[in-house]
Chains A and B, each alone.
Chain A
Amino acid sequence: MHARHNPEHTSIKTHVRRPVLWTAILSTLLISITIYSLLTGSRLARKYAPLQNAAMEIKLEATLAHLWFEEIMSGDRYADISTVWKHVELSAWYARAMLEGGKNSEGTYTPLRDQALRHEIEEVQIKIGAYREIIEKRWAAQADSGIGSASDQQFDVVFEDLFSQADGVETALQTAMAKNLRQFHILQGFLIVLSLVFFAIMAIAIRYYTRQHVLGLSAIQENEKWLRLSTETAGVGIWEFDVLNNKMTRSQNHDQLYGLEPQEIWTVDSFLNAVHPDDRDFSAGLIEESIAAGGPERHHFDYRTIWPDKSIHWLSLTGKITERNSEGNATQMRGCLLDVTERKSAEKNLKASEERFRLICENSPVLIDSFDENGKCVLWNKHCEETFGWTLEEINAHPDSLELFYPDPVVRAEVTKTVTSDPDGHFKEWHPVTKDGRELTIIWANFRLPSGLIFSLGHDITQRKQEQAQLQLMSKALENSLNAFVIVSSDGEITYANHSYVKLWGYDCVEEIVGTSADGHCQDPALPEKIISILQTTGKFEGEITATKKDGSPFEVLMYACAAHDNEGQLIFPTTFIDITERKQLEEENKKSRAILQKAEELSHQGAWEWDILSDQWILSKNFLQIHGCSGSSISRDELMELAHPDDAQRIERSFQDALAGKAAYRLEHRIIRQNDKEVRVLHVLGEVIRDETGLPVRMRGVAQDITALKQAQQDVLKERNRLQFALEVSHMGAWDLDLVDLSSHRAPGHDHIFGYDNPLPEWTYEMFLEHVVPEDRADIDRQFQEALAHQSDWNFECRIRRPDGQLRWIRSVGRHGTPVDGTVRIMGGIVLDITERKQAEIELTHAHDLLEERVEERTAELEVRKNEAETLNRAMINVLGDLKQTNLELETAERSLLSTNKELEAFSYSVSHDLRAPLRHIDGFVGLLLKREKQLDATSARYLDTIAHASGRMGRLIDDLLAFSRTNRSKMRTERVDLNNVVQHTINDLSSLTEGRQITWKIGDLPLVQADGGLIRQVWENLIGNAVKYTGNREHARIEIGTTHEGSDAADELVFFIQDNGAGFDPQYIDKLFGVFQRLHREDEFEGTGIGLATVGRIIHRHGGRVWAEGAVDQGATFYFTLTAAQGAE
């Protein structure tokens, strides 16, 4: 394309245009001035000439008027005055025309503008006026005014005046005209000079610019030449695109860039055709975009072109919009074109090279990273990412990426320093942390690239460090191991020995050993060689050997050796020794322990057992076999099971299976029948199952203990406990235990009943007890309690209590401290008894005693009733006392709490026995004294006193009876075969004192042999037969039948005995009281009795395991039944 204009051309053009403009302006000016001067000249001519004319006309007309008037005056008759007027008028008309403009045949008159002149002319008009007046005046006075008259003279003067005035105007006009002409001439002269000057300048200017123009063109041409040269040299083509005409003007080399000869025409299509087909679309698009309104002002893109020789070249096009139309569309663009094939090729090579480098960096097992001067990470290879866990993005996302690796600010500062100051490229060890918090050991080297990038290379040596440390640790451990350790070379020389080895072998230092032969370290010098040969073939050796110390003394060691290779590939034998001297000793001691254990088993009646399930082998301790009464040294499981009691066998087996299945522990009590003496023994067996890792049972082991004696003792205790319970129940006593620590308590059922509660309370404390005590007694009772605590003495008191229903009762209680176990008494045990009746009796007794002398008669009977009641109670206590005493003795081996309770009961009974005797003695004593003193008593008084003495005696007997009763209860049962026929007969004989004088029909059946305690059963018959005799006392014909019956028999060997009488009988309503202690169904005055007999019967029969019952009705007699077990073999 050819550049027709360039900035310089524009300048030149501008320079040429300017003088032309100037020239035009000046020419116009000149012409204007010229025209103006011509016009001015013409105006002067047109204006001043008629005015001068007019001035002359005024004079002329005035003169004519003068002449004519003079004529007329002079008498010319022909002359008309009107002519005079006409001339005057004309003169006035001219004056007016001069002022106001006007036209007539003479010319056109323009009004005067000069004020001075106009004023002159107005003077003229006035003078014309005056002229006309004077004419008229003269005219009017024609006759008077002849020539030479005064009016004629005045006429002349006015005329003269007018004339001179008009003349003055004419002169002034002439002057003004002359003046204007002069000015006109001056102006014209100036114009002429001006034109001359102008033309001179024009000539100079035109000449100058013409010259410049020529110079400019040559410069442009020169420029164009240089431009072409430079663009051609640089391979830059230049173009201009006329969008509207789709025409491109190009520099010469432009087309060559497409490999073409210079073309005639070049359009967009030509361009697109030249573009490589693959680049065509985007090129066309870019051009379109540039042209469109709002498109970019500049565009630049690279594309390929295919030369006619098929070679492909890269072109780079740069364009700029130079013109846009009013719609904003480009109408002209210009630009240049450059062949960039070589650059592209270089870029490609560079890219490939970069890619290779990147691949190396990425995949190198070396840590490679690079940071730019702003601390931004630009390279972070895969190995880095794998090692540290951070990705490039994560690092760059962090404000101070180093912090990720070096959380410690001090270390971080150090790192920053080595990186930023002057990276020296030396490897240095660092300990960065990874994303997951591990600390690594890395050696890093930093380099500064010429571009300013910091380039770092690193290597992770963490594992190597750890391995080194571990190796050192192991070596240290080996060195300090308690086990002796040596390394022996293949020729039997010791190359290494640790501290323990030196010590074990009795040497002083390693140097003594290393380098010597191992032969000297064993009892058998040939042994090392033998072991080496084994190691060479099998690689391993393990065994006990006898080693030799430095001083030659032998000792036992366990040795483990193996074959290995050292760094140089030499065969070596690392060997460990364990000193087993102590172990040997332990084994010996273990043997002794076993013997002791066996002894212990024997003493505790225990035997150990173990069952190897897999081999079904039973290992039984000697004592185990003894417990089972086995004489042999072992026994099979089947044999063992045969020894189990048949009733327990199934239970044992079940428990055993449950234990194996892991359902329950193996722990049970069962009976066995001993093998040797067939005795039944009770065993307590424990066992545990030993399982392997999978939970399969592999072994079972445990112990068996013979607890027969213990069981027996337990049963005895239980029996005694029941007995005690019974004693408490029948005596309506309440037993209690008080915990001295928290003052809580345990009570037997009767206890709460005494305090007025039908059902046992959930809880009972000392405070609750105190609340029941009436307020008057409370402080005293508490003081006694505190004293008892302080002195550890018995707490023995009587007091009044208030039951919940408001009833006031007397109670008596005795408490005693439990036997201290560890030096501290923690429990107080005791009993409580309702003594209201006794107390009342006592009170009244005392009262009665005071009044005895004066009112003994009426009081005696009542006293006796009261006394009997007291007696009854007291006897009950004595009974209990007996029981408790016995129980205490029997329960000595029983549980401590029970023992404690018994002791308290004993204490109580002691107190009762002491106190009971005193009042009895007093009654009897004072009656005795009274009898001695009153010699003259009347018969009745004497009888009364006798009765009192008798009663006290009876009470003494009652005490004795009760003691006897309780003794029978306590005594050991000795069962034997008893012939009841003998017993009954003897009893009847013994009662002869009672039956004497009475008519009694005895009917006695044949009685069988029974299994019973002879003494006790004799007492049964004594009581029953005695009762029968007693209660038939008021029958004239007593009939007593004794025999056996089958009614009510429960078992085959149970025999039912009966005794029937026709006596007083009893009310069946009270049948349940019949066998109770102190229960009587008849008054004392009817039948004497203590109320103990049937209770004794009942208890004896119960002790024999039998039952007792009765049938009867008032006055219908009574039948008593009881059962006993038939004697074995008796029939």
Chain B
Amino acid sequence: MDAKRILLVDDDTSDVELALASLDEHNLANEVAVARDGAEALDYLYRRGSFADRPEGNPVVVFLDLKMPKVDGHEVLAQIKNDPVLKTIPVVVLTSSREEQDLIKSYSQHANAYVVKPVAFESFVEIVKQLGLFWVLTNEPMPKS
């Protein structure tokens, strides 16, 4: 079994459900691995803890929420971008925050994209769908060495 192509990092189960529902419309839901906070995300990426047994291979994209318990999104982002192996993985910040400081901080940490979760369901579905399609299908990932 191959590794999932999308790593969705979000502590909010409702958001996760909505996101998965959106991706499901394009049959991308199966491609999604879910981490419920920053710590789990890092465990997943480093294949440790509860993810020690997951199949090899990194996701092609990480959808990352910012506000999370334990290790927040900014820390995960910093960790990924400071790791010589992980830094090539595109990270899309997917958050409710439209705060300027979050934008600045994320981009300073080399986030690849910053998307605000819209309130309206339709817009949300549309955006997540587009993101999924773009990063999984349209975008060419880093070749595997």
Contact = CB atoms under 8 A, between A and B. Distances in A.
B96 A918 contact: yes
A915 interface: yes
Contact of A928 (B14, B95, B125): B125
A925 B98 contact: no
A476 interface: no
A956 B122 CA distance: 14
B107 interface: no
Interface string B18-62: 100100000000000000000000000000000000000000000
Interface residues of A, number: 22
A921 B97 contact: no
Contacts of A953: 119-120
A921 B99 contact: no
Contacts of A955: 119
B68 to A, nearest CB: 11
B122 A922 contact: no
A920 interface: yes
Nearest to B118: A921
A914 B95 contact: yes
Interface in A873-923: 910-911, 913-918, 920-922
A924 B125 CA distance: 11
B96 A915 contact: yes
A910 B122 CA distance: 25
Given A918-B12, A918-B15, A921-B18, A913 B99 contact: yes
A927 B96 contact: no
Contact of A910 (B15, B99, B118): B99
B119 A924 contact: yes
B67 interface: yes
A910 B96 contact: no
B37 to A, nearest CB: 15
A576 interface: no
A925 B97 contact: no
Contact of A914 (B18, B99, B120, B121): B99
B135 interface: no
B4 interface: no
A926 B99 CA distance: 25
B145 interface: no
Nearest to A929: B21
A918 B101 CA distance: 19
B124 interface: yes
Contacts of A921: 14-15, 18, 96, 117-121, 124
B96 A926 contact: no
A952 interface: yes
Contact of B101 (A910, A915, A917, A924): A910
Of residues A916, A929, A955, A956, which shows the largest number of chain B Cβ atoms within 10 Å of its Cβ?
A929
B95 A924 contact: no
Contacts of A915: 67, 96
B120 A956 contact: yes
Nearest to A910: B99
A926 B16 CA distance: 12
A924 B120 contact: yes
A539 B67 CA distance: 97
Contacts of B97: 910, 913-914
A918 B14 contact: yes
B interface bracket (residues with beta carbon within 8 Å of A): 20 to 34
Contacts of B15: 918, 921-922
A423 to B, nearest CB: 108
B97 to A, nearest CB: 4
Interface string B90-124: 00000111110110000000000000011111101
Interface string B58-96: 000000001100000000000000000000000000011
A917 B122 CA distance: 15
Nearest to B116: A917
Contacts of B12: 918
B43 to A, nearest CB: 21
Contacts of B96: 913-918, 921
Nearest to A881: B99
A910 B124 CA distance: 21
Nearest to B18: A925
A913 B98 contact: yes
Contacts of B14: 918, 921-922, 925-926
A927 B98 CA distance: 24
Interface in B114-144: 117-122, 124-125
Contacts of A926: 14, 18, 121
Greatest chain A CB density within 10 A among B67, B97, B120, B124 is at: B120
B124 A925 contact: yes
Nearest to B67: A914
B106 to A, nearest CB: 13
Nearest to A906: B101
Contacts of A949: 121
Given A922-B15, A925-B124, A929-B21, A917 B119 contact: yes
Given A914-B97, A918-B12, A921-B15, A928 B122 contact: yes
B121 to A, nearest CB: 3
Contacts of A911: 67
Nearest to B19: A925
Contacts of A928: 121-122, 125
A75 to B, nearest CB: 218
Interface string A944-962: 0000010011011000000
A601 to B, nearest CB: 42
Contacts of B120: 921, 924, 952-953, 956
Contacts of A910: 97, 99, 101-102
Nearest to B21: A929
B29 to A, nearest CB: 14
Contacts of B18: 921-922, 925-926, 929
A925 B122 CA distance: 7
Nearest to A919: B14
B99 A925 contact: no
Contacts of B21: 925, 929
Nearest to A959: B119
A925 B101 contact: no
A924 B121 contact: yes
A344 B98 CA distance: 140
Interface in B1-23: 12, 14-15, 18, 21
Interface string A402-419: 000000000000000000
A953 B119 CA distance: 8
A928 B22 CA distance: 11
B80 to A, nearest CB: 21
A924 B121 CA distance: 5
B5 to A, nearest CB: 24
Contacts of B118: 921
A980 B97 CA distance: 39
B104 to A, nearest CB: 13
Nearest to B101: A910
A108 B106 CA distance: 200
Contacts of B124: 921, 924-925
Contact of A920 (B95, B101, B119, B122): B119
A956 B118 CA distance: 10
A1075 to B, nearest CB: 29
Given A921-B18, A922-B14, A927 B99 contact: no
Contacts of B66: 914
A14 B119 CA distance: 175
Contacts of A956: 119-120
A920 B18 CA distance: 13
Which 10 interchain pairs have the tightest Cβ spacing?
A928-B121, A917-B96, A925-B121, A922-B14, A924-B121, A925-B18, A914-B97, A920-B119, A956-B119, A914-B96
Interface of B: 12, 14-15, 18, 21, 66-67, 95-99, 101-102, 117-122, 124-125
7 contacts: A910-B99, A921-B15, A921-B18, A925-B121, A926-B14, A929-B121, A956-B119
Given A910-B99, A922-B18, 8 more contacts: A914-B66, A914-B96, A921-B15, A921-B119, A926-B14, A926-B121, A955-B119, A956-B120
